[in-house]
Amino acid sequence: MKKILLMFIGTLLSALCAFAQDVTVSGTVKDVKGEPVIGAAVLLEGRASVGTVTDLDGRWSLRIPSEKGLKLVVTCVSYKS
């Protein structure tokens, strides 16, 4: 009985850990003319330590927590939103 209970608890903890996994999101930042924006900052709103910068083709990839309601903020020094 004790072994079954421990197996159940282990399975439950494994399932809970699976929900706390990060996800990878990616995209491309382009200006109004469709040109890639180089060096734009892509940040997770409210968490300045979670972010990245676009490459020469405007592409970016970022690992973020798998929570609902998160927002990304894209900024670039030479562009106004």
Asked if the structure places residue 58 within a domain, the reply is yes
Asked if the structure places residue 6 within a domain, the reply is no
Range of the domain at 43: 22-81
Q: Which residues contact 45 (CB under 8 A, 6 or more apart)?
A: 70, 71, 72, 73
Asked if the structure places residue 4 within a domain, the reply is no
Asked if the structure places residue 14 within a domain, the reply is no
> How many domains would you assign to the chain?
1
Q: Report pLDDT digits (tens) over 19-29.
A: 558 889 999 99
Q: What is the pLDDT of residue 22?
A: 85
Q: Is the pLDDT at 52 greater than 90, yes or no? A: yes
Q: Report pLDDT digits (tens) over 53-65.
A: 999 999 999 998 8
Question: For residue 25, what are the β-bridge partners?
Answer: 62
